[in-house]
């Protein structure tokens, strides 16, 4: 890193930049919170509400109609930290820049959360003050942990009936195993919510109820009851910091005075090191606690200079780790984390990790080896665009008009040979056949599907070789429904869809060998390819891997690539019911060739048939997607709900009483709840129960239902 990592031309130094995401379970209030942040920072001058379809970051028609976030939206705002006297009037000050990505909460759009967390430096995870930790909350938490993203928790909706801040903190500690400690505790709850107890400063922050949108507040002394709460929380926080932070621990042991500034710095260091999670309570809709949350983002979440350097490797050499440090003066390197097409053209969203890039610069994509010139750079503000000349390290922006780029690709200057780690995406769990309504739609269908598949890594398009049908697969029925709507609205393509099908998988349970020799003579030049291989089970969830162990040129080098392509192709169709095969390791051991008759096609076919031969000896098994489900039901219906889940082959994992409701947690096969479960649950509970579910894992299908699944599959194929 250079002495000063900041370019003299950038508007905001790296030290004053925060890249954060706002993530949570559906309906926890992420978008409402984002809207308040944008208002208080002066980025917008009128608050739009989700329920009115007016939220800034919910700009798609489907989002406005349904009141949910579907695609992650990026916005940039500036923030001047709050004054001590509580009189905050200046909405134009620019002490800090905060780049925010508002992510969806619905499980069907989990790819948006995954790729956002991959490129962010910190996250605000929102929990409902009534519901606490919900299934998608756990998914988001695991995603953030996978990328070591420092977090702050905002316990929202503290104005709702049944809100309990202490219970949510305990829920987070128990279910997420998080080292969570309150720093701003709500004063009051439900209809009595009026402010926050500032634990570090030992003050009460009371928000004005006669001011528009809570723009002003007063800082007051704590009363006796509030002091007791503050003292207990302060002592608990200090104990945690003594354990987590060496500097505070040393001061404590040497009985030195520990100031508020010392505590804040220690919290910051502990958060950045992922040793502590500050918890803040409030209500975005009631305009209580948001300004202090933005302060906490600046105080405790890292700038790009304080994060662990991004890591990559040289193309073709994964063992050699290359660190990428945030520095405007270094070589340019960025990750393409999202693709989007609209009236402005194809946009490639990038997070710049080092260096800078300007219009007219030439960049290379190491995956393809192709170079492209940057034609247009834009800063994204939800669905509006501002042209910029240069994008610096730590920035999030978009390049318009690039070709041959996929989600997860690295872009760099030609002299910087590096590939960054791409985001990981879950496997689709549901599929359906689609067909165009008219001949005119037929011509546009392929290009529309290709464009949508480019944008969404969890949307997979394939053609069933036996039926010729176009199959689309995704994360749920809502996911596929939204994509069909987008085809109609954005691409002018109307489709008919078949009934959703479960995305089963096949795997093997023991090792086996395959040895296939393709030997054909047709009078002229023949076909010869001979492949010997061995397959063995991979750990569940590891996917497909292959190892080339050919020695002595048994298979000439020029035929190795088609052999590997054949092996991969063979994994697309299993022998039980023709589903894709997963979690298999293949060792390519050898074979033989013919000087005249061997060619790429012969070796590709020999490899496919060698794998199929091995499958027949490997005791193949069918796997089905299992969902983590949570059902909230009044106590009187708990027995009926549990009995119904048991009939659906569910495994009940936990029963909990919460806010006069029974919470039933279970793992249940998607096949048993994918069609009509919401209607059945309403009938069972007189419309008073609700549920949510997230993909969990794949599990072997029981023998008792295997035959019916295979028969249905073969019936469809026929």
Which of 80-89, 128-137, 207-216 is the least confident region?
Answer: 80-89
**Neighbouring C-beta atoms of residue 308, cutoff 10 Å:** 13
Could you tell me if residue 8 is inside a domain?
no
CATH number at residue 571: 3.30.230.10
Shared-domain flag, residues 377 and 258: no
Q: Do 78 and 129 belong to one domain?
A: yes
Are residues 161 and 280 both part of a single domain? yes
Range of the domain at 583: 510-618
Please indicate whether residue 67 or residue 143 has the higher confidence score (pLDDT): 143
Residues 260 and 356 in one domain: no
Alpha helix (H) residue ranges in 46-149: 61-66, 110-119, 135-146
Closest Cα to residue 128, out of 21, 29, 22? 29
Query: Domain check: are 58 and 185 in the same one?
Result: yes
Among 265, 300, 335, identify where a domain stops: 300
Beta-carbon contacts of 518 under 8 Å, excluding residues fewer than 6 positions away, are 527, 528, 529, 530, 602, 605, 606, 609
Cα–Cα distance for residue pair 478/146, rounded to 1 Å: 26
Residues 613 and 629 both lie in one domain:
no
Task: Name the least confident of 81-90, 436-445, 452-461, 533-542.
Answer: 81-90
Residue 328: which CATH number?
A: 2.40.30.10
- Using the predicted structure, report yes or no on whether residue 547 has a pLDDT greater than 80: yes
Of the three residues 420, 451, 483, the one that is the final residue of a domain is 420
Mean of pLDDT values over 545-557: 89
On whether residue 9 sits in a domain, the answer given is no
CATH number, domain with residue 495: 3.30.70.870
Residues 262 and 379 in one domain: no
CA angle 388/392/394 to nearest 5° reads 120
CATH of the domain at 702: 3.30.70.240
Burial 518-536 (b: 16+ CB within 10 A, else e): beeeeeeebbbbbbbbbbe
3-state secondary structure of 104: coil
Same domain, 613 and 631: no
Question: Looking at the structure, do residues 92 and 192 belong to the same domain, yes or no?
Answer: yes
What is the arithmetic mean of pLDDT over 395-410? 86
- 112 and 169 within one domain: yes
pLDDT tens digit string along 181-215?
A: 999 999 988 888 889 999 999 999 988 766 556 66
With cut-offs at 50, 70 and 90, classify the pLDDT of residue 90: very low
Asked if residue 91 and residue 236 are part of one domain, the reply reads yes
Choosing from 420, 450, 481, the residue where a domain stops is 420
Residue 3 lies in a domain: no
647 in the same domain as 691: yes
Q: Name the domain count of the chain.
A: 5
Query: Is the residue at 505 inside a domain?
Result: no
Residue 94 has pLDDT above 80, yes or no: no
Whether residue 591 lies inside any domain: the answer is: yes
* Position 5 in a domain: no
Instruction: Kindly state whether residue 425 falls inside one of the protein's structural domains.
Output: no
- Residue 504 counted as domain residue: no
Whose CA is closest to 276, among 303, 311, 248, 245? 245
- Mean pLDDT for 415-443 is 82
């Amino acid at each position: 890193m250079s002495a000063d990592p900041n370019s003299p031309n950038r508007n905001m130094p790296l030290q004053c930049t925060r890249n954060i995401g706002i993530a949570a379970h559906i309906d926890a209030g992420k978008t409402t919170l984002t809207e308040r942040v944008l208002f208080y920072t002066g980025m917008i001058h009128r608050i739009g509400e989700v329920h009115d379809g007016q939220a800034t970051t919910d700009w798609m028609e489907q989002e406005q109609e349904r009141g949910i976030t579907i695609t992650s939206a990026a916005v940039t705002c500036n923030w001047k930290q709050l004054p001590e006297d509580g009189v905050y009037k200046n909405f134009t000050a620019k002490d800090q820049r905060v780049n925010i990505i508002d992510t969806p909460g619905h499980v069907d759009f989990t790819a948006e959360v995954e790729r956002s967390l991959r490129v962010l430096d910190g996250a605000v995870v929102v929990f409902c003050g009534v519901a606490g930790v919900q299934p998608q909350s756990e998914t988001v938490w695991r995603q953030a942990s996978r990328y070591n993203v420092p977090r702050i928790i905002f316990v929202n909706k503290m104005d709702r009936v049944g809100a309990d801040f202490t219970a949510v903190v305990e829920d987070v500690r128990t279910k997420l195993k998080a080292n969570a400690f309150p720093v701003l505790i709500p004063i009051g709850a439900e209809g009595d919510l009026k402010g926050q107890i500032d634990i570090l400063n030992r003050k009460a922050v009371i928000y004005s109820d006669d001011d528009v949108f809570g723009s002003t507040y007063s800082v007051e002394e704590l009363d006796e009851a509030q002091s007791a709460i503050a003292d207990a929380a302060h002592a608990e926080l200090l104990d945690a910091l003594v354990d987590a932070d060496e500097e505070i621990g040393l001061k404590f042991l040497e009985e030195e005075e520990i100031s508020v500034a010392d505590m804040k710095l220690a919290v910051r260091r502990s958060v950045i090191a992922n040793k502590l999670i500050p918890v803040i309570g409030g209500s975005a809709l009631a305009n209580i606690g948001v300004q202090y949350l933005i302060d906490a983002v600046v105080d405790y979440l890292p700038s790009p200079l304080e994060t662990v350097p991004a890591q990559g490797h040289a193309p073709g050499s994964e063992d050699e780790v290359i660190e990428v440090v945030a520095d405007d003066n270094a070589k340019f390197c960025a990750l393409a984390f999202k693709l989007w097409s609209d009236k402005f053209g194809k946009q490639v969203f990038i997070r710049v990790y080092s260096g800078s890039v300007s219009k007219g610069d030439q960049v290379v994509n190491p995956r393809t080896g192709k170079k492209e010139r940057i034609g247009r750079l834009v800063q994204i503000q939800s669905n509006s665009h501002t042209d910029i000349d240069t994008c610096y390290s730590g920035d999030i922006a978009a390049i318009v008009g690039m070709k041959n780029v996929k989600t997860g690709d690295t872009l760099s200057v030609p002299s910087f040979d590096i590939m960054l780690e791409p985001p990981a995406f879950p496997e689709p769990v549901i599929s359906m056949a689609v067909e165009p309504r008219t001949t005119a739609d037929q011509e546009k269908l392929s290009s529309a599907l290709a464009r949508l598949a480019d944008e969404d890594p969890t949307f997979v398009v394939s053609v069933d070789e036996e039926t010729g049908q176009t199959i689309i697969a995704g994360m749920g029925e809502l996911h596929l429904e939204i994509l069909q709507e987008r085809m109609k609205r954005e691409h002018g393509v109307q489709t008919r869809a078949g009934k959703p099908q479960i995305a089963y998988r096949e795997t093997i349970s023991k090792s086996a060998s395959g040895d296939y020799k393709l030997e054909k003579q047709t009078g002229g030049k023949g076909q010869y390819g001979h492949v010997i291989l061995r397959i063995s089970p991979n750990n569940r969830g590891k996917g497909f891997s292959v190892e080339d162990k050919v020695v002595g040129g048994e298979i000439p080098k020029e035929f190795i690539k088609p052999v590997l392509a054949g092996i991969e192709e063979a994994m697309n169709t299993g022998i039980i019911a023709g589903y894709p095969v997963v979690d298999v390791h293949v060792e390519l051991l050898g074979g033989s060739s013919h000087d005249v008759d061997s060619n790429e096609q012969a070796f590709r076919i020999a490899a496919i048939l060698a794998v199929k031969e091995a499958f027949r000896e490997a005791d193949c098994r069918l796997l089905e997607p299992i969902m983590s489900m949570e059902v909230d039901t009044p106590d009187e219906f708990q027995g009926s709900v549990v009995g119904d889940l048991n009939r659906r082959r569910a495994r009940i994992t936990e029963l909990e009483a919460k806010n006069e409701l029974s919470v039933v947690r279970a793992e249940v096969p998607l096949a048993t709840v994918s069609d009509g479960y919401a209607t059945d649950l309403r009938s069972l509970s007189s419309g008073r129960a609700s549920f949510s579910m997230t993909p969990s894992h794949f599990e072997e299908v029981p023998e008792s239902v295997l035959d019916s699944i295979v028969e249905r599959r073969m019936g469809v194929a026929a």
